Amino acid sequence: MLKPSDFNASCISDIGHDEYHADPCPIPSLNHTVAKILIERSPMHAYRAHPRLGGEKNKSNRVMDIGSAAHAMALGVGNPVRSLKFKDFRTKAAQETRDAMLQNGITPLLEDDYNMVLAMAPLLRAGIEDVAGKSIDNLLREISVFGLEDGMWSRCKPDAMTADFRLIIDAKTTLTAHPEDYSKKVLHDYATAVAFTFQTLDLLDPEGVGKRRYVFVVQERDCPEAITYHELDPTMLEIAQSQMQRARRRWAHCVRTNEWPAYDRGPHMAVPPQYIVDEEMGLAHDEAMAAHVEAMKKGAVL
């Protein structure tokens, strides 16, 4: 595997989780999280979220820790997971133990959550292998991908993918994996992740453009740890591709000019959606008709 010090072209590397998220590229690189902020908020917000620029760090929580632990156990890579004999993290002793583990690259879980992950991980692993059609040991797992285009770097870290970069598997843990519910989440939350990953891999593997699949293997956290598979509709992928290309252009401009503007302050016109207009017109019409009928009953003409 290439090391970050070897950066001179698009490449892959097996660097660790912390090194990847610190962004080892020669200049600040774009990942999906920051690209999505560029589209949904502003360059200033993206600047604040980048580890090499604003440096804001995302704080973990119980749900995130369970997901990270399930990933690590199912994929067989990533930070080790340890069980803590505490009921919660309210006591000082529990907090100090948790924080020490986090600082040493260990994912700490309360005992009940640890047992939950122990039940989840084998099923999640089997689901990944089912989609891949091969043992998980024959997949690239948690490999960092770095793409270079016109002097700008981008990076992604797929959970698992085949050695030819044609199949990407994204393992998710959730409250409900019901097909209809999670398909909506894929559309609303993860469509751009598919597009961004494809675009970054395309820089590394141009022969694979248009030949990739991206499959979400989604598992519920609670018993019976049900699993469903999801892919993105081609029309939504096309929209997401356009959004991520726009994010890349904005990123390149901001990096080159070192200008990170916030929102256009406006004033912005608050225009009602058509359904509100239609609803109000309908209510006003019904009220006018009722008043007219009442007046007719009294022998008056409005």
Domain stop point among 106, 128, 150: 128
**In sequence order, what DSSP letters do the residues of 8-33 get, joined into one string?**
SSSEEE---HHHHHH--SSS--B-HH
Residue 16 has pLDDT above 90, yes or no: no
Question: Which pair of structure tokens corresponds to residue 142?
Answer: 């948690």
Give the count of beta carbons closer than 10 Å to the beta carbon of residue 141: 20
pLDDT in tens, 162-184: 999 999 999 999 999 999 999 99
pLDDT in tens, 95-132: 889 888 888 888 899 988 999 899 999 999 999 999 99
**Residue 65 backbone zone (phi > 0: left; psi -120 to 50: alpha; other: beta):** alpha
Looking at the domain assignment, is residue 2 inside a domain?
A: no
Read off the pLDDT band of 302 (50, 70, 90): very low
Q: Tell me whether residue 87 is in a domain.
A: yes
Domain boundary among 72, 100, 128: 128
Q: What is the largest CA-CA distance in the chain?
A: 92
Strand blocks (E) in 199-284: 213-220, 227-230
The pLDDT of residue 6? 66
Q: Which of 75, 68, 82, 62 is nearest to 21 (CA)?
A: 68
In a domain, residue 168? The reply is: no
Q: Is-contact 182 176, C-beta < 8 A?
A: yes
Q: What share of the chain is helix, strand, coil (3-state, %, to 5)?
A: 50, 15, 35
In a domain, 105, yes or no: yes
Q: Does a structural domain hold residue 23?
A: no
Which helix (H) or strand (E) segment holds residue 65: the answer is helix 62-75
Q: Could you list the residue range(s) of the whole structural domain that residue 90 is in?
A: 60-128
3-class secondary structure, 1: coil
**For the chain, what is the domain count?**
2
Asked if residue 187 lies in contact with residue 240, where contact means CB atoms within 8 angstroms, the answer is no
In a domain, residue 277? The reply is: yes
Query: Peptide bond before 51: cis, by omega within 30 degrees of 0?
Result: no
Exposed (0-12), middle (13-18) or buried (19+): which is 89, by Cβ within 10 Å?
middle
Picking from 250, 262, 185, the residue whose alpha carbon sits closest to that of residue 36 is 250
Which residue from 239, 226, 261, 207 is spatially nearest to 123, judged by alpha carbons? 226
- Domain limit, last residue, from 70, 102, 128: 128
Q: Is residue 276 part of a domain?
A: yes
Mean pLDDT of the chain: 91
- Give the per-residue pLDDT at 4: 52
Question: Is the per-residue pLDDT at 273 higher than 90?
Answer: yes
Is the per-residue pLDDT at 57 higher than 80? no
**Single-letter amino acid code for the residue at 120:** M
